[in-house]
Amino acid sequence: MNRERTNAAQHEGNPVFSVFVTFLFVTAFAFLMISTARAQDDAAPEPTFDDGYAAYQQGDFYQARIIWQELADQGDARALYNLGTIYAQGRGVTADMDAARALWQDAADAGHVRAMHNLALSLIADAGMHDEVQADEEYEIAMSWLERASTEGFPNSQYTLGKMYQYGLSVQQNDEEAARLFMEAADQGYANAQYNLAKLYRDGRGVPRNEEMSIHYFQLAAVQGHAGAQNRLATRYARGEGVEQDDVVALMWASLAAEQGDERAAENRDVLLARMSENDIAAAQALIDEHRASE
Amino acid sequence: MSVKAARIAKPLGVLALLAGMWLAFAPVARADEDPPRVTKEAAEAHVRALADSALDILRRDDVMLEQREATFRDLLREGFNLEAIGNLALARNRRAASATELEEYHQLFAEFVLARYSMLLGGYAGESFAIIDAQDSGRRDVVVLSEINRPGGDVIHAAWRVRDYDGAPKVIDVQVENISMVIAQRDEFNSVIQRGGFEALLESLRAQMELLPVEAPS
């Protein structure tokens, strides 16, 4: 004990020892602080897909891209798809469809149906810029992705594939197959498919001619805001074709379509306005207000 | 627009449009037959009103981005002469199209250009817009030069070509960083039509309009 006290007493007055002790203390303190900071970093949550979407909605496309890029690097299919879409749209970056396609390809390979759909459409859009051989190749690849997405039940792809059968694009023209695909998409509420199926029923193409079914599908699409369907209904009601003649309902549909820029609907609206009473015009306006309230 | 407003609203001069459609940079009419030139004041006021309305729409962060841009597209639809722009983008290739094809083309083109511009110019909050100058261009047009200042220091230079249609100024072209929308589209459309005919152009436009937006969280 006396020896230890002697040793301590000897160090107390030694400046070198004091510096050494101070150095040890500072080093230990720094180490403690660094460790604490790292622990805090490890505990901070990584930005999520939802965080990226929130940034996107706020218009901070740069931040959205950073977040989704990090997730995409980890193989997140949704992030790959959204990142591709940002590049396709040129949101905060120079539009780059090649980069978009590459990202959509990775997402599609992972089973992302929206990516399959966009990849197919981008190839179709691009085909017109290339020679016939390359265009045919692009159409073939596009078709395979559309078929895969359609098989997965994706209504947008079912509709697009239906249009390709209807127009005979990269496939043998086939109205029955077009109608089948439109119906699958229409039954899922896809307005464009409802509209086109209505026209097939009207014309008896791919399905037996059926006025009632035609109006039914025009109605389904019109209620969802499809301007073309709204104008078709306006014409039917104005002429009493397949429905009881009713200028008030006709004017409602024509006006709703015209508001979306449909010029034929605007012409139909003007014809109706010229022949209707003030009371009937007011009744049509009430129907329009009611329709808008229900949207 | 209510049905009453539509009833009393004077329709746009469609015949005037058809008679007065010129290429953006190549006026061909005799001077004594030219429609009146839009004034610099009217052109500036039109662009300023468009920009002010646009910024009001785009700053609404309580509204979903897609809805903000849909409202923005409605604004552009009113402020732009989309049919004129569509015709300028087709140029001589209009002759290659049937009446039915032209009708579909104009519908698709309108949606295509509105979507492209709403994505290019929209979605941002906090930017400011300033008109720098207005210059006569050709026999009928005024080009309004502007800067769009984004937070963070980026500046976009945009030149708006404005023409008078029946007393109403309308935008018929926008140059963003010296790239003309009309010329860019004209070149692209011409290439597609040369390779695959008018139907190929329609198919390309249809496909582009069917591209899906970003996916929302589930």
Domain termination site, one of A152, A178, A194 = A152
A191-230 pLDDT per residue, tens: 999 999 999 999 999 999 999 999 999 999 999 999 999 9
A242-274 pLDDT per residue, tens: 999 999 999 999 999 999 888 899 999 999 999
Confidence of residue A91 (pLDDT cuts 50, 70, 90): confident
Q: State whether A53 and B191 contact (CB < 8 Å).
A: no
Do B202 and B107 contact (CB within 8 A), yes or no? no
Please check the confidence at residue B24 and state whether its pLDDT lies above 60: no
Q: From the candidates A50, A56, A57, A231, which should be mutated to test the interface with B, based on the most B CB atoms within 10 A?
A: A57
Please report the pLDDT score of residue B65 as a whole number.
86
Q: DSSP state, A91? A: S
Domain termination site, one of A111, A129, A152 = A152
Return the percent helix, strand and coil in chain A, to nearest 5.
80, 0, 20
Please check the confidence at residue B174 and state whether its pLDDT lies above 50: yes
- Residue A93 placed within a domain: yes
- Residue A62 placed within a domain: yes
Please report the pLDDT score of residue B10 as a whole number.
38
- Residue A181 placed within a domain: no
> What's the pTM?
0.77
- How far apart CA A172 and CA A166 sit, in angstroms, is 9
Please report the pLDDT score of residue B172 as a whole number.
94
- How far apart CA B3 and CA A275 sit, in angstroms, is 13
Please report the pLDDT score of residue B109 as a whole number.
92
- How far apart CA B147 and CA B65 sit, in angstroms, is 23
User: What's the mean pLDDT when you consider all of chain B?
Assistant: 81
Q: Which residue has the higher pLDDT, B30 or B22?
A: B30
Through-space distance between the first and last CA atoms of chain B, rounded to whole angstroms: 36
Taking contacts as CB-CB distances below 8 angstroms, the residues of chain B near A131 are 195
Please check the confidence at residue B140 and state whether its pLDDT lies above 70: yes
Please check the confidence at residue B31 and state whether its pLDDT lies above 50: no
Return the percent helix, strand and coil in chain B, to nearest 5.
55, 20, 25
CATH number of B34-209, picked from 3.40.630.10, 2.40.50.100, 3.40.920.10, 3.10.450.710: 3.10.450.710
- Work out the average pLDDT over A7-15: 50
Please report the pLDDT score of residue A9 as a whole number.
44
**Percent residues over pLDDT 90 in chain A:** 69
Nearest Cα residue to B172 out of B66, B81, B86, B87: B81
Torsion of Cα atoms, B53 then B55 then B58 then B63, to 10°: -60
- Residue A39 placed within a domain: no
Confidence of residue B8 (pLDDT cuts 50, 70, 90): very low
Please report the pLDDT score of residue A142 as a whole number.
94
- Residue A213 placed within a domain: no
A74-78, A88-92, B34-38, B195-199: segment of lowest average pLDDT: B34-38
Please check the confidence at residue B53 and state whether its pLDDT lies above 70: yes
- How far apart CA A92 and CA A64 sit, in angstroms, is 10
Nearest to B207 among A49, A121, A284 (CB): A121
Amino acid at residue number A60: D
- Residue A231 placed within a domain: yes
Please check the confidence at residue A2 and state whether its pLDDT lies above 50: no
- Write the CB contacts of B111 (distance below 8 Å, at least 6 apart in sequence): B209
- Structural domain for A75, as ranges: 48-152
- Work out the average pLDDT over B104-117: 87
- Work out the average pLDDT over A165-194: 95
Please report the pLDDT score of residue B107 as a whole number.
87
Taking contacts as CB-CB distances below 8 angstroms, the residues of chain B near A57 are 61, 64-65
Query: Nearest C-alpha of chain B: how many angstroms from A131?
Result: 7
Question: How many domains are there within chain A?
Answer: 2
Taking contacts as CB-CB distances below 8 angstroms, the residues of chain B near A78 are 215
Confidence of residue A128 (pLDDT cuts 50, 70, 90): confident
Q: Strand (E) positions, chain A?
A: none
- How far apart CA B170 and CA B163 sit, in angstroms, is 6
Nearest Cα residue to A123 out of A134, A108, A112: A134
Q: Which residue has the higher pLDDT, A176 or A2?
A: A176
Do B189 and B181 contact (CB within 8 A), yes or no? no
Ramachandran angles phi, psi of B153, nearest 5°: 105, -15
Nearest Cα residue to A207 out of A196, A220, A222: A196
Q: State whether A135 and B196 contact (CB < 8 Å).
A: yes
- Residue A11 placed within a domain: no
Q: Which residue has the higher pLDDT, B170 or B26?
A: B170
Q: Which two tokens stand for residue B138?
A: 């050709």
Please report the pLDDT score of residue B26 as a whole number.
39
- Residue A79 placed within a domain: yes
Torsion of Cα atoms, A41 then A45 then A49 then A54, to 10°: -100
Please report the pLDDT score of residue A144 as a whole number.
95
Please check the confidence at residue B14 and state whether its pLDDT lies above 50: no
- How far apart CA B114 and CA B120 sit, in angstroms, is 10
- How far apart CA A185 and CA A188 sit, in angstroms, is 5
Q: State whether B110 and A82 contact (CB < 8 Å).
A: no
Domain termination site, one of A152, A182, A217 = A152
Please check the confidence at residue A7 and state whether its pLDDT lies above 70: no
A14-36 pLDDT per residue, tens: 666 666 666 566 565 555 565 55
- Work out the average pLDDT over B144-165: 85
